[in-house]
Amino acid sequence: MVDCNVLIVGSGLAGSSAAYHLRRLGVEGVVVVERMSGDSYGRYHRTCGEAVSDRLFALSGAPEGCRVRRIRKIRITCGDVDMDIPVKGHIIDRERLLKDLRDGSGAEFVKVSLDSVKTDPEGITAVCGDTVYHCRYLIGADGAFSRVRRDVFGTVPEVRFAAVNNLVKGDSDSDTICFEVSTKYPGAYRWDFPSKDGLRSVGYAVGRDSVEDPVETGIRYIVSGTDRRVVEGNCCLVGDAAMLANPLCYGGIGAALISGRKAAEGIAGGDLSGYARWVRKDIMFDRHFMDALETFKGWGEADYIDAVRPFRRGYSLLRGAYAMLRRPRWANVYMSIWMAFGKGW
Ligand SMILES: Cc1cc2nc3c(=O)[nH]c(=O)nc-3n(C[C@H](O)[C@H](O)[C@H](O)COP(=O)(O)OP(=O)(O)OC[C@H]3O[C@@H](n4cnc5c(N)ncnc54)[C@H](O)[C@@H]3O)c2cc1C
């Protein structure tokens, strides 16, 4: 039996952000358990487009040394239409960010997997292999297949699928991240982002790799959902464990980093209810994104082409408003895509 003040399960972006901010706020006795190490850990976390908006990154309070490329534009291509949305963001070096957060945290990191967790009035008990942790607070930052979510909250994501990211040789100097929407791709689109060191990230929301000569291919699950219960007594969920990734663009880096920070602030103040309120109220996690996904899933090739027609001569807010007026049944999709890319990715 090991006693600690705060046990964090998972040292991805959400868990590492929580550990980093707990130290900043003067909270001691923090242990982080992580099931992976070495190359498997690196590979898991490299499986990502690594794009994040400047607004969310700033809100996360994370160290900035990991920002490798400025992003000024999101291009959505559909048929012969390119729709360019101006944005402010960066491609980050996710492994560097994880290291910076870890180094700045002062927490004890242990390589072990959480097997089960139980909460009772005496405290929280987490079984990790041969070790039983007894803690005052527990943060479930254990990603898509969260044990903490299963054991304490019993909630199930509405969206869950395996996404593929390939690192391929190419121009990493561009300031544009691209999405090509078409039924020829599994999951209806393909992304192509600049990465670092002469590499690009090319991936599919669902399905198998069909990219030639990738330098590295990774498959990792994406989850999302509308159940916003993230606090149960002194136990909380953050990041993908809390199903906070956006179901339209799958942006989850910002949500993971900020939720880790907010949970840490709640624990430092001895009250997690502010964190629970933030998740319930913040527009990033509104259920209209899931409703829009339902509408979007029903579209075929002709619908995609029709939906982008108003933007043939470029994207503007006025054209967006016109598109919504002309196609009111799709207004939720237009609105949600604009918000997801403008605020949530
Ligand atoms: C292919 C792909 C591309 C993406 N691209 C982008 C993008 O460009 N921009 C963006 O904003 N978002 C993107 N996302 C989403 C983003 O990567 C996730 O939302 C984010 O990683 C969530 O971070 P997390 O810390 O909550 O979870 P994770 O990164 O999944 O970390 C969870 C950690 O917990 C550990 N763990 C799990 N179970 C246990 C256990 N039982 N015991 C101990 N440890 C455990 C895992 O090993 C892992 O280290 C992408 C996702 C995928 C799959």
Same domain, 63 and 116: yes
Same domain, 207 and 335: no
Q: Are 334 and 67 within 8 A, CB to CB? A: no
Same domain, 323 and 237: no
Same domain, 192 and 298: no
Range of the domain at 296: 289-344
Report the Cα–Cα distance between both ends of the chain, in Å, rounded. Answer: 41
The total of structural domains in the chain comes to: 2
Taking Cα atoms as reference points, which of 91, 106, 42 lies closest to residue 191? Answer: 91
| Helix (H/G/I), strand (E/B), else coil: 154 | coil
Question: Which residues lie across from 76 on neighbouring strands?
Answer: 83, 179
Distance CA 144, CA 263 (A): 18
Structure tokens at 179: 């999405």
**Which atom from ligand 1 is nearest to the alpha carbon of 56?**
11
Evaluate: CB of 201 within 6 angstroms of ligand 1: no
Same domain, 155 and 182: yes
Same domain, 315 and 219: no
Taking Cα atoms as reference points, which of 177, 191, 180, 253 lies closest to residue 222? Answer: 253
Instruction: Report CA-CA distances (Å) from 190 to 73, 76, 209, 272.
Output: 16, 10, 11, 38
Same domain, 69 and 127: yes
Q: What is the CATH number of the domain that holds 243?
A: 3.50.50.60
**Runs of H (alpha helix) within the chain:** 13-24, 38-46, 54-60, 94-103, 147-148, 253-268, 273-281, 288-297, 301-308, 317-326, 331-339
Same domain, 138 and 220: yes
Indicate the angle between helix axes 38-46 and 94-103, nearest 10 degrees: 120
Same domain, 325 and 258: no
Domain final residue pick, 248, 268, 288: 288
Distance CA 159, CA 162 (A): 10
Evaluate: CB of 248 within 6 angstroms of ligand 1: no
Evaluate: CB of 114 within 6 angstroms of ligand 1: yes
Residue pLDDT tens, the chain, 345 long: 999 999 999 999 999 999 999 999 999 999 999 999 999 999 999 999 999 999 999 999 999 999 999 999 999 899 888 988 889 999 999 999 999 999 999 999 999 999 999 998 888 999 999 999 999 999 999 999 999 999 999 999 999 989 999 999 998 889 999 999 888 887 788 999 999 989 999 998 876 657 778 999 999 999 999 999 999 999 999 999 999 999 888 789 999 999 999 999 999 999 999 999 999 999 899 999 999 988 888 888 888 888 888 888 888 888 989 999 989 989 999 888 888 876 666
Evaluate: CB of 240 within 6 angstroms of ligand 1: yes
Q: Are 236 and 266 within 8 A, CB to CB? A: yes
Distance CA 345, CA 339 (A): 9
Pairing of strands 2-9, 131-140: parallel
Q: Are 193 and 178 within 8 A, CB to CB? A: yes
**Which atom from ligand 1 is nearest to the alpha carbon of 33?**
43
Distance 18 CA to ligand 1 centre (A): 14
